[in-house]
Amino acid sequence: MTSAKPLFYKTVIPLDSKRHEALRISRPIRPLDYARDANVIPALVDEFDLAMAEIPIAYLPGADCPSAVFVTGSAPGTNVYVTEDGLWNGAYVPAYLRRYPFIIGDVSDTESVLCIDESYEGLGEAEGDRFFSDKGAQQDPLTNALTLAQSYRDAAVRTETFCAMLRDLDLLQPATLDTTAPDGSTSVVHGLLIVNEDALAALPADKLYTLHEAGFLKAIYSQIASLRAVSKLLPAVASKAKAAGKKSA
């Protein structure tokens, strides 16, 4: 398997019916505490339309290709969407968080296997749902995790294709996301890329058709529309939202 560690993953190991026969998974008391300090979280192109009203979407520059991200905090080490109780403050939870602690790993060029972050707080042998039966058969929690991890991987490939097209069409520009609340508080996020609307409008018809045929044109406009949600990165706005969430709980 690759040695690179994706965001949040610390000790990634393949799941094995013999080695992990008694392994169980349960929900930690603070389930999303691990994401508390992440001000950007990987995003899938399939999610843009679902999340655009709640979470700003942008791109991070990369050596070969930009990557799509949800912007969840105005500075490194901040995430206004994770509450003090380690819960998600919003209706849409990014697929990257829903997939964790599972991930598909490559054993070879042709073989992959479901892996798990062994450091995940909810793993143990005393409490929770078992991954395997006494006879080594997959149980529902593992089957569901595999389905989600495979779907995520397929969508990640589409997202890479999408981002490569944005790069090749020269549609991205550096951007600073900033907003000011009525009380004067500000939120500023540096080092991002967003779609250049002038460049998009100037695209020849055949290039626009290529984006449409690939199913990516709607995603472009969803990303642009998501920037209206940048005000949610303001601490004052986040505090009010969290307080309202506690009252309704």
Q: Which residue has the higher pLDDT, 39 or 240?
A: 39
Three-state SS at 126: coil
Please state, in angstroms and rounded to a whole number, the distance separating the CA atoms of residues 13 and 117.
6
Residue 1, pLDDT > 90, answer no
Residue 101, pLDDT > 50, answer yes
Contact status, residue 122 vs residue 26, Cβ threshold 8 Å? yes
Mean pLDDT of 162-170: 98
* pLDDT on residue 184: 72
In this structure, what is the dihedral angle of CA atoms 89, 91, 97, 98, given to the nearest 10 degrees?
A: 140
* pLDDT on residue 67: 98
Contact status, residue 67 vs residue 76, Cβ threshold 8 Å? no
* pLDDT on residue 108: 66
Mean pLDDT is lowest, of 15-24, 136-145, 175-184, 189-198, for 175-184
- Run of H or E residues at 103: strand 102-106
Contact status, residue 167 vs residue 144, Cβ threshold 8 Å? no
Residue 216 CA: distances (Å) to CA of 140, 186, 213: 34, 32, 8
φ/ψ region of 193 (left if φ > 0, alpha if ψ in -120 to 50, else beta) reads beta
Residue 227, pLDDT > 50, answer yes
Tokens of 79: 């995430």
Mean pLDDT of 153-179: 95
Q: Which residue has the higher pLDDT, 99 or 237?
A: 99
Mean pLDDT of 143-147: 96
* pLDDT on residue 181: 65
* pLDDT on residue 240: 46
Residue 129, pLDDT > 60, answer yes
Mean pLDDT of 126-155: 94
Please enumerate in sequence order all residues whose Cβ is within 8 A of that of 217, keeping only pairs 6 or more positions apart, or say none. 208, 211
* pLDDT on residue 180: 73
Q: Please name which of 81, 30, 68 lies closest in space to residue 160, comparing C-alpha atoms.
A: 68
Task: Delimit the domains of the chain by residue range.
Answer: 12-241
List, for residues 172-208, the tens digit of each pLDDT value.
Answer: 999 988 877 667 777 778 899 999 999 999 999 999 9
* pLDDT on residue 182: 66
Please state, in angstroms and rounded to a whole number, the distance separating the CA atoms of residues 49 and 53.
8
Mean pLDDT is lowest, of 40-44, 88-92, 96-100, 104-108, for 104-108
* pLDDT on residue 112: 87
Percent of the chain with pLDDT over 90: 78
Mean pLDDT is lowest, of 20-29, 58-67, 226-235, 240-249, for 240-249
Q: Please name which of 62, 22, 15 lies closest in space to residue 42, comparing C-alpha atoms.
A: 62
Please enumerate in sequence order all residues whose Cβ is within 8 A of that of 33, keeping only pairs 6 or more positions apart, or say none. 82, 86, 121
Give yes or no for a cis peptide into 14 (omega within 30° of 0).
no
* pLDDT on residue 192: 96
